[in-house]
Structure 1
Amino acid sequence: MVGNVLTIITITTSPLMGSPMYYFLDHLYLIDACYSCVNTLKLVVDLLYEKKTSTFTGCMIQIFGEHFFGYADVILLTVMAYDCYVAIYKPLQYAIIMNQQLCDLLVGVSWMGVFLHGFIQIFFIFMLPFWFPNVIDHFMCDLNPFLNLACTDTHTLGLFVAVDSVFICLINFLLLVGSYGVILHSQRLEARCKALLTCVSYITAVVIVFVPFIFVYLLPSATLTIDKAVAVFYTMITPMLNPLIYTLRNAQMKNGIRKLCSSKATSTEL
């Protein structure tokens, strides 16, 4: 939370906000900050109590939040890959192509798309019958362990959930690979190495987001023990790593944070 909020303040209070790249990064950090609240806060509260309970409505909100913010991260990374492609492949037309209207449209479509995805994920659950036992073998209300509580055959619904989730991940992953492939193919050897270094932050973020998602939804629900370990990674570690990935390799972000901290120190002294 500290890392994401600090980078959000740094971008919004500096001229960096005028750049499409940092405009998308600002939304990415906002998503990660919200995503951290979906599961981590509930986990901290549960650790303080011996009996860990949640209402049905609370579970539905948590599942919706997981898919809403989790897949917003996925789609926004694809949008950022397109921004990276335009910046490297068409630098002279970059300002014209990536204008503010297009940036707003891409972000708006991303938010609308993940809202629809999150709604679809929980829509059919409301019609399922539930009875005892009502114990979830997980530290959060995830779809697979929640479907196991239903008093009916959920094989078809579970398959639909897996196909829907994996389909979104694979489509965005192919778009990402295609974007980076065109970037690298269009450059000479020396420029190709420089382009790869420029996009290494994006590639790192893509790997730590996509691999856990695809891993969880491609494996059968019987592997819930492994799912819990992987869920810790994409619900807590990934939102923590994203600010570090983009900040440590970005001189402008590091300078912006230094200026923000120095201005705070000056104000405090005054």
Structure 2
Amino acid sequence: MQIIRSTAQMRAAVRVARDRGASVGLVPTMGAFHAGHLSLMRQARGETNLVVVSLFVNPTQFGPNEDLAAYPRDEQRDAGLAAEAGVDILFAPPVDQIYPDGFATTVHVSGITDVLCGATRPGHFDGVATVVAKLFGIVTPDVAYFGQKDAQQVLVVRRMARDLDMPVRIQACPIVREDDGLAMSSRNAYLDATARTRATALRRALVAAETALAAGHTRATEVIAAARAVLDDAGIEPEYLELRSPDDLAPLDEITGTALLAVAARVGAARLIDNTILEVR
């Protein structure tokens, strides 16, 4: 596996691969790899010829009071895991390669960035869209792989790529969970033992909503109440717990087809998110 730090060298490596007729897969990450990241890498390995993983803790998607300085970083460990997963190139640029002096452009996706995480983290998705647009321009992937845990992020990136005619397929991959149901996240490292146990309530709340729907409760108020009861029992006050369209994040009063139930909550020192797709069968 190659480790590349400059955008020029990254572009050159892709040109060489393209000249050989290779397809390119990109897994954008901020490092601190876990099994969820590795599942994206393995899917890219199975579907494309050149697998590129970007490792860049993007400062523009962190708010002024968020955890940029504390975000877990261990490039040597991450590089070893990426190599084991069959990655060809680890693109690990310094900040000035992505945001050189005088950088003055922001990509903003309207509408779907105003709700859920966008409502409580102003500017977050502008940072996400901008850095992903940069990565797409540098790596020019045929397919880019994202985890479904960040469902809103997937929709934002997919809308950006569509609106800006970027020739890349956005592939959402299933959420990978711990044995007790907690969605894997780099921020799980912030949880102490007590908070780690409480955090499992997020997944249990989503399961309660799935159970309520299976019992015939299709109203948003009923489904959300079932989930909320589990969070209340765990002493967790959600930042949001909302039923939304999985296509455009429009609010839903009732499930008549497919719906996204999304939750965010601060548990101990970690802000965690999770979601499930609910479907009337």
TM-score (structure 1 length as normaliser): 0.25
Point out which structure has higher relative CO (alpha carbons under 8 A, 6+ apart). 1
**Higher helix proportion (structure 1 or 2):** 1
TM-score (structure 2 length as normaliser): 0.24
**Higher strand proportion (structure 1 or 2):** 2
